[in-house]
Structure 1
Amino acid sequence: MNPFSNLGIRHDIVNAISDLGFENPTPIQEQAIPVLLSGSNDFVGLAQTGTGKTAAFGLPLLELLDFEENYPQALVLCPTRELCLQITNDLKNFSKNIKNVNIVAVYGGASISDQLRQIKRGVQIVVATPGRMIDIIGRKAIDFSKVQYVVLDEADEMLNMGFQEDIDQILSTTPEEKKTWLFSATMPAEVRRIAKKYMENPFELTVGTKNTGNANIDHEYYVVRAREKYAAFKRIVDFNPEIFGIVFCRTKIETQEIAEALIKDGYNADSLHGDLSQQQRDKVMKRYRERSLQLLIATDVAARGIDVNDVTHVINYSLPDEIENYTHRSGRTARAGKTGVSISIINSKELGKIRQIERVIGKKFVKAEIPNGFDVCEKQLFALIHKVHNVDVNEEQIEQYIPRIMDEFKDLSKEEVIKRFASLEFNRFLEYYKDAPDLNAPAHEERGDRSDKFARGGMRSDYTRFFINLGSVDDFTRGDMLGFICNNGKISGKAIGKIDLKGVYTFFEVENSSADQIQQNFKDVDFNGRSVRVELAGDRDGGGRSGGSRERSGGRRDGNRGGGFRDFSGKRREERSGSSRSGNGSGERRKRW
């Protein structure tokens, strides 16, 4: 007998999930399903991403609802359209043997008229993102007065994205006597408050320890100079030939730039961020699920709800702004009991954040060394040999070519054929990594030595610090400011150091050789009818030249496969963390899908 039957799930549902390969319930399913089937309690479930939360609430819903009635009985709210579609698809698969089940996915980026038609035809379960649900409620197109169950999935992320008011408004249209089930990977104070507001004496279930990470994930970090981050990232990827990973960046701009650079450098990569249309997003995810993509470059928001099996690595190209998000990121790997690796590429100033994350997840990071060129070549060579050894041979199709192949190799011994075949790939990496530099940050930089030119509070003497009377209130991001300075100052982005964007003003650094040019070219510049003032920083920020550090986060050309990114004007430049990690990160966290 399937163990799910012992939890109280009826046979037609058990048969459906057996066809999907569900053999044994996960811990969250085993403990949550009997409680939820009773239908008598509000519920708070804490479990990490990838532990089977959808089935934990989905199977009890299918047991408890009356599918002879064709009105909304359950509402599932989740943060992203990807997760919305995933939950809807799972519920449809679970219920394939039940008659008259109508489940509608409601999310932005798709035709609202199609969704309205589906609702009008009748629905028992609505799975929705808050933004689009508000739109449909505003059209008075749905009646939640008889809803019995509300599920808040990924509650912590919905609050991080700024959906608190939307959730309040949606739940105000539901009855007082409903049951509310809340699922979350972490339990920050905001989630605790929402539980207190909407629930009465909820049953609380924690699988694992609150806010901790999956025990099957190994956590590693690499310390590199900021300007060499992209080169180090590529070397880590090359050292893991079988990698099938998700790479997290902080902003949409950085995500797009890294993906474009990887594609130019010959990697199977693409980006996933909030500016993509639903059609573009679906196309990227289809390629990733089919493994025609090896690396998916994503923002935190865009990656929520991605449920792809066998992700081997999560790479934090940039650490998340919110420490709790690290748990969500790393949870993309080691799903369903498998193992995985979470890698963070940091500079010396971020060591403190690593220690903070360790305390939150309750697990130590391992400090790893960026491999040298020889190690990468060796790893790639034996990956190729392993692939050749295990390749499936299509005997029927290859047979007709064997005589010609044997004739071509007749003057070569077995050993010579093997050496030449292996060298096809090996020589490429040998050439690329010839004289490859050590990319690990020196020990004194790792300790945060104040003499380090990238350390906090110090600036190289070959840079001049300027003040400009424009800032974030003028709708500038750091990337916008970089472009504005380059275009009007008529200098290359390479000459710009750190950009310190404030509310009504900004400090920026320029190579000494370009300082006079900046002052001269900004004499008659205006912005939206207002005169732009650029002056030497002097004592404005209390430090003249000591006010900041020059930071570059990679994009440096590294051999023939080197990357490089584009500046504001479209010209090639090195990526700089001060510009590409711009202030639109928080805005993206609030983006509604």
Structure 2
Amino acid sequence: MNPFIELGIRHDIVNAISELGFEKPTPIQEQAVPVLLTGSNDFVGLAQTGTGKTAAFGLPLLELLDFSQKHPQALILCPTRELCLQIAKDIEKFAKNTPNVHVVAVYGGASISDQLRQIRRGVQIVVATPGRMLDIIGRNAIDFSGVKYVVLDEADEMLNMGFQEDINNILSTTPEEKKTWLFSATMPAEVRRIAKNYMTDPFELTVGTKNSGNANIEHHYYVIRARDKYAAFKRIVDSSPEIFGIVFCRTKIETQEIAEALIKDGYNADALHGDLSQQQRDKVMKRYRDRSLQLLIATDVAARGIDVNDVTHVINFSLPDEIENYTHRSGRTARAGKTGVSISLVNLKELGKIRQIEKVIGKSFVKMEVPKGADVVGKQLFALINKVQQVAVNDDHIDPYLPQIMDSFAELSKEEIIKRFTSLEFNRFLEYYQHAPDLNVDASESRENRGDRKGRSERFGRDGYKSDYTRLFINLGSVDNFTRGDMLGYICNNTRISGKAIGKIDLKGVYTFFEVENTSVDKVFSGFQQVDFNGRSVRVENAGDSHGEKRSGGKSYRNSGNGGGEGRKRRDHNGGGGFRDFSSKRREKSRW
């Protein structure tokens, strides 16, 4: 018998969650579901992210609500668009075999008219972010007088994001007799105040220790100089060839810069931050969930609610300003009982913060050494060998070529073939890493060298733009659904120049400025001579030609023909961003 039956969940719902792979309840589900099924208590549940809180409140709601009625009976508030969508989709999956269940996701960045239309058709469960929910309430477009249950999910993060007043206003439109269920990973004083103001003698449940980290996560830290942070980060990534991770930064600017630097270096990466439109965010997340991205570079706010299976690593490129956020970051890995690694890159001055985090999460960090170049080469080489062993062979398609292949290798021994095959990749790794310096810092050093205080562009491997770059204009921008990463891939695909040759990309609404090394300017103009985009001629000019800036060369091309469509198609075929597949990314010398 499925253990969820014993918790009191009926068969049609259990059958649906069994198809989703739910074999046994997680600790929060096992302890919370029986309490919530009574429908008679306010509730406070504390558990780390990734422990199954959505099912802990979603399954009882499906048992308690009357789905013959088409008015809102449950309101779920959460901090981000991604989490809002995730919760709504999960509940719909749980209710797959239950008739007449209607769930609406209400969040900013999407069409409010579509959301209003769904509400008018009749819904029982509303999942919402506070800002958009207040907008709809302000239009008198929803009636919460029949709401029986309010769920505050990720309550600590909603308060961190400044939603307390919004939450107060929303809850004031709901009945006094409703039951409030609050779920949180941490329990700061602000969350305690919400519990006091809106709940009556709530049932409190803590799974694990308050504010603690997931027991299945290993916590590592590397001590490095600030100037070496990006180089050390790449080396750590390279030493884990199968990495599928999320990289956290403090700011949107840092997020975008690191993503662009990684893309130029041949990694399959993209950025997720608050300046992206909803369509751009959805596009990035789809690629990440489909695993056509291997590294997602994100800010804390943007990454809240990301529930992606099998994330192997969380990397803190910068430690969070608030220690509690470390728990949320690391909780993106080791979800649903799996294991994961949380890595932090720190300088000597930040060692004290590592000790503070250790006290908060109740776990010790392990100091790791940045891998030496030879170690990375070995890891990559044996990852390649393992990939060869695992590759599926299509006998029907390859058999016709085998005689010619065998003839080509006839004079080589098995050992010689293996040596030459592995050297194709080994030589690339070796060339890049054979003179790689030791990036580790002795923790006994009193302070970092003054030379560590470098600008971002040098840290990311460029010496600045200076006179080595020419600023160009292209008549495509964000309205064409380009991110800066997309634009980089589009330029490289159409011109066949390396991403290393591209400097700063300044993306505007209907056009973009970008910098390119002087030696590659002619290649850019040549590459865009026969290009259009969605039936519109693509125009590339020196930035001064149309925009009042100093002219650098006087060239410009107004392009016609069908080449641009193919260029765009080629970019999409490569995973939506024009970047090489991570597993075979080592194609050009600039990467290695």
Above 0.5 in TM-score?
Answer: yes
Q: Is the 8 A contact 1:84 1:128 kept in 2?
A: yes
Aligned residue number for residue 398 of structure 1: 398
Q: CA RMSD of the aligned region, Å?
A: 2.3
Are the aligned partners of 1:147 and 1:174 in contact in 2 as well (CA < 8 Å)? yes
Distance 1:123 1:177 in 2: 20
Rounded Cα–Cα distance in structure 2 between residues aligned with 1:155 and 1:238: 37
* SS, match of residue 221 in structure 1: strand
Amino acid in the other structure paired with 1:112: I
Deviation at 1:171, TM superposition (A): 0.2
Q: Which residue in 2 is equivalent to 1:218?
A: 218
Q: Is the 8 A contact 2:249 2:300 kept in 1?
A: yes
Q: Does 1:229 align with 2:235?
A: no
Specify whether residues 405 and 567 from structure 1 end up closer, same or farther in structure 2 by C-alpha distance, changes over 3 A only.
closer
Whole-angstrom CA distance in 2 between matches of 1:283 and 1:89: 17
Counterpart of 2:99? Answer: 99
Q: Which residue of 2 aligns with 1:557?
A: none
In the alignment, which residue of structure 2 is the partner of 1:242? 242
> In structure 1, what is the equivalent of residue 74 of structure 2?
74
Structure 1 residues 45 and 563: alpha-carbon distance in aligned structure 2, compared to 1, 3 A threshold: farther
SS state at 1:219 partner? strand
Asked if 2 retains the 8 angstrom alpha-carbon contact of 1:102 and 1:125, the reply is yes
Following superposition, the deviation at residue 570 of structure 1 comes to: 6.8
Local SS of the residue matching 1:385: helix
Contact residue 231 and residue 562 of structure 1 kept, 8 A:
no
* Residue in structure 2 matched with residue 301 of structure 1 by the alignment: 301
Whether contact under 8 Å (2:313, 2:342) holds in the other structure is yes
What is the alpha-carbon distance in structure 2 between the residues aligned to residue 563 and residue 229 of structure 1? 22
Residue in structure 1 matched with residue 332 of structure 2 by the alignment? 332
Q: 2:63 corresponds to which residue?
A: 63
**Per-residue deviation at 1:562?**
8.0
Q: Which residue of 2 aligns with 1:583?
A: none
What do the CA deviations read for 1:442-475 (whole angstroms, capped 9, x no partner)?
3443xx34x84379xxx99xxxxxxxxxxxxxxx
Residue in 1 that maps onto 2:124 = 124
**Hey, what does 2:191 align to over in structure 1?**
191
The number of aligned residues is: 475
Distance in structure 2 (CA, Å) of the matches to 1:406 and 1:37: 68
Residue 296 of structure 2 aligns to a residue whose secondary structure is strand
What is residue 45 of structure 2 aligned with on the other side?
Answer: 45
Q: What CA deviation, in whole Å up to 9, does each residue of 1:465-517 have, x standing for no partner?
A: xxxxxxxxxxxxx99xx9xxxxxxxxx9799xxxxxxxxxxxxxxxxxxxxxx
Deviation for aligned residue 1:39: 0.5
Distance 2:420 2:499 in 1: 23
The structural deviation recorded for 1:308 is 0.7
Alpha-carbon distance between aligned partners in 1 of 2:502 and 2:300, rounded to the nearest angstrom: 23
The one-letter amino acid paired with 1:147 is V
Are 1:453 and 2:450 matched, yes or no?
yes
> Is the contact between residue 465 and residue 503 of structure 2 (CA under 8 Å) also seen in structure 1?
no
Question: How is 1:513-532 mapped onto 2 (pairs within 5 angstroms)?
Answer: none
Q: How far, CA to CA, are the matches of 1:566 and 1:227 in structure 2? A: 20
Residue number in structure 1 paired with 2:138: 138
1:357-402 CA distances to partner (integer Å, 9 max, x unpaired)? 0000000000111111111101111111111112121222222222
Distance 1:9 1:78 in 2: 24
Within 2, Cα distance between the matches of 1:248 and 1:454? 25
Provide the secondary structure at the position in 2 that maps to 1:274.
coil
- Aligned to 2:205, the other structure's residue is in SS state strand
Equivalent residues of 1:74, 1:148 under 8 A apart: yes
Once the two structures are superposed, the pairs formed by residues 572-583 of structure 1 within 5 Å of their partners are none
Q: CA deviation at 1:316?
A: 0.2
* Contact 1:257/1:565, CA 8 A, preserved across alignment: no
Partner of 1:427, secondary structure, is helix
1:263 alignment partner AA: I
SS at match of 1:301: helix
In structure 1, what is the equivalent of residue 433 of structure 2?
Answer: 433
Amino acid at match of 1:255: T
Please say if residues 222 and 368 of structure 2, whose CA atoms lie closer than 8 Å, have aligned partners that are also in contact.
Answer: yes
Distance verdict in 2 for CA 1:83–1:101, change over 3 Å: same
* Unmatched runs of 5 consecutive residues or more in structure 2: 458-462, 467-497, 507-512, 518-592
1:364 aligned partner, one-letter code: S
Report what 1:3 is aligned to: 3
* 3-state SS of paired residue (2:387): helix
The answer as to 2:310 corresponding to 1:310 is: yes
- 1:199-250 deviations in whole A, cap 9, x for unaligned? 1110000111000001111100001110110011000011111111000001
Q: 1:339 to 1:260 in 2, by over 3 A?
A: same
> Is this contact kept in 2: 1:33–1:56, CA < 8 A?
yes
Query: Does the aligned pair in 1 maintain the 2:501–2:516 contact within 8 Å?
Result: no
> Are the aligned partners of 1:493 and 1:567 in contact in 2 as well (CA < 8 Å)?
no
Task: Tell me the amino acid that sits aligned with residue 133 of structure 1.
Answer: M
CA contact (8 A) 2:263 2:499 kept: no
Please give the secondary structure, in 1, of the residue aligned with 2:356: helix
How far apart, in 1, do the equivalents of 2:305 and 2:149 lie? 21
Contact 2:37 2:64 survives alignment (8 Å)? yes
Report deviation, 1:87: 0.4
What is aligned with 1:503? none
Residues of 1 paired with 2:434 and 2:464: CA distance? 29
Listed as ranges, the matches of 1:538-557 within 5 Å are none
Deviations 1:519-539 (A, max 9, x none): xxxxxxxxxxxxxxxxxxxxx
What is the TM-score of this pair, normalised by structure 2? 0.77
After superposition, residues 97-496 of structure 1 pair within 5 angstroms as 97-445=97-445, 448-449=446-447, 452-453=449-450
- CA distance in 2 between counterparts of 1:444 and 1:452 reads 13
Instruction: Show CA shifts across 1:539-578 (max 9, x none).
Output: xxxxxxxxxxxxxxxxxxxxx99899749997699xxxxx
Tell me how far apart the structure 2 counterparts of residues 348 and 313 of structure 1 sit (CA, whole Å): 23
Secondary structure of the residue aligned to 1:326 is helix
Q: Is the 8 A contact 1:432 1:561 kept in 2?
A: no
Quick one: distance in 2 between partners of 1:176 and 1:400?
A: 75
What code does the residue aligned with 2:301 have?
V
SS of residue in 1 equivalent to 2:68: coil
Q: C-alpha separation between the residues in 2 aligned to 1:220 and 1:303?
A: 21
Counterpart code for 1:266: G
**Quick one: structure 1 residues 565 and 8, their matched pair in 2 at CA, closer, same or farther if it must change by over 3 Å?**
farther
Q: CA 1:567–1:346 in 2, change beyond 3 Å: closer, same or farther?
A: farther
Farther off after superposition, 391-400 or 352-361: 391-400
Distance 1:86 1:369 in 2: 37
C-alpha distance in 2 between matches for 1:273 and 1:35:
37
Moved more, 22-31 or 560-569: 560-569
How many angstroms apart in 2 are the aligned matches of 1:46 and 1:123?
29
Aligned AA (1:277):
S
Sequence identity percentage: 79
The DSSP-based 3-state class of the residue aligned with 1:397 is: helix
Q: Secondary structure at the match of 1:113?
A: helix
Task: Give the structure 1 partner of residue 573 of structure 2.
Answer: none
Aligned residue in 2 for 1:32: 32
Higher relative contact order (CA 8 A, sep 6+): 1
Q: In the aligned structure 2, how far is the partner of 1:426 from the partner of 1:9? A: 55
Distance 1:108 1:561, change over 3 A: closer
Which residue does the alignment assign to 1:19? 19
Tell me the secondary structure at the aligned position of residue 450 of structure 2: coil
